[in-house]
């Protein structure tokens, strides 16, 4: 089973295109929040429509797409359309579908292979491998929903890293998520929110009890980004996790052993 972990795409369209192409080689693509960009000049509604259409294309792949929300993903009170920006009339059917659901992530659940905020699901990845996933939405107050424990292997997505961990540095992280990990001990978690630092420590993995917690340390939004995002590839056959990241315009890779770290 091959699982790609990433996040903080911030509506950088080449990265969406790369994920769609890369899915041919994968069983699961997991994005831990911040698909969108709060400051994008086209506003949130155009981004939502793009993501909906992108998922329609992705759903033709055999891979699962799993995501949770982040702090950039349509927080309450965000204007959906900036002044002067209009929507083409041919997008009205998508708007009706978005409006028909209680939340925008639920409107993105186009097939059983798309897993969204507040979902807990068992994914069949081939004839003999299963993966349990839980998607915990972002909340400005750091709160988490009530979660039901899942069987191993279990992957949990939450945008904020656990408090007190090296993958949260230099920020504080989320205390409730740290408590969740200590209580339930899932196999893996993926968070981001804390980007790659130009200099200094950039821890991408830390074990808390039996749980291996990841942060792909996404590149900060800006010009001249590479054609693929920083990401982590879990390979359950080889029992490895590879952090593939860009530093000073060079692609680098660090591999760890899932069993012994």
Q: Give the side-chain half-sphere CA count within 13 A for 177.
A: 30
CATH code for the domain of 65: 3.60.21.10
**Counted domains in the chain:** 1
22, 81, 253, 256 from 44: Cα distances, Å: 26, 6, 34, 38
What are the two backbone dihedrals, phi and then psi, of residue 182, each rounded to the nearest 5 degrees? -65, -35
Domain extent, residue 164, equals: 2-257
Contact 188, 215 (CB under 8 A): no
pLDDT one-digit tens code per residue, 17-36: 999 999 999 999 999 999 99
Q: How many CB atoms lie under 10 A from the CB of residue 166?
A: 15
If you ran DSSP here, which 8-state letter would residue 219 be given? P
The pLDDT score that the predictor gives to residue 260 is: 65
74 vs 104: CA distance, rounded Å: 9
Residues sharing a CB contact under 8 Å with residue 222, sequence separation 6 or more, in sequence order: none
pLDDT one-digit tens code per residue, 34-92: 999 988 888 888 999 999 999 999 999 999 999 999 998 986 667 677 777 777 788 88
Helix (H) or strand (E) holding 171: none
Residues sharing a CB contact under 8 Å with residue 227, sequence separation 6 or more, in sequence order: 14, 18
Alpha-carbon Rg of the chain, whole angstroms? 18
Contact 94, 107 (CB under 8 A): no
Which residues in the chain come in under a pLDDT of 50?
none
């Amino acid at each position: 089973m091959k699982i790609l972990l990433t996040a903080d795409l911030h509506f950088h369209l080449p990265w969406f295109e790369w994920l769609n192409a890369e899915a041919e080689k994968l069983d699961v693509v997991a994005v831990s929040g911040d698909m969108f960009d709060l400051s994008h000049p086209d506003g949130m509604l155009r981004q939502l429509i793009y993501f909906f259409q992108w998922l329609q294309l992705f759903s033709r792949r055999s891979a699962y797409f799993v995501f949770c929300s982040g702090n950039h993903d349509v927080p309450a009170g965000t204007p959906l359309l900036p002044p002067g920006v209009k929507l083409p009339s041919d997008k009205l059917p998508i708007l009706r579908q978005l409006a028909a659901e209680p939340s925008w992530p639920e409107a993105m659940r186009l097939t059983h292979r798309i897993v969204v905020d507040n979902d807990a699901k068992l994914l069949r990845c081939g004839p003999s491998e299963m993966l349990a996933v839980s998607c915990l939405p972002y909340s400005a107050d750091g709160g988490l929903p009530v979660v039901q424990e899942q069987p191993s292997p279990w992957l949990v997505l939450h945008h904020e890293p656990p408090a007190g961990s090296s993958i949260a540095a230099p920020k504080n992280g989320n205390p409730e998520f740290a408590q969740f990990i200590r209580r339930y001990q899932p196999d893996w978690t993926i968070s981001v929110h804390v980007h790659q630092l130009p200099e200094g420590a950039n821890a991408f993995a830390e074990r808390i009890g039996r749980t291996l917690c990841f942060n792909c340390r996404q590149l900060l939004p800006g010009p001249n980004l590479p054609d693929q995002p920083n990401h982590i590839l879990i390979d359950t056959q080889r029992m490895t996790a590879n952090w593939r990241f860009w530093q000073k315009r060079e692609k680098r890779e660090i591999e760890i052993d899932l069993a012994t770290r």
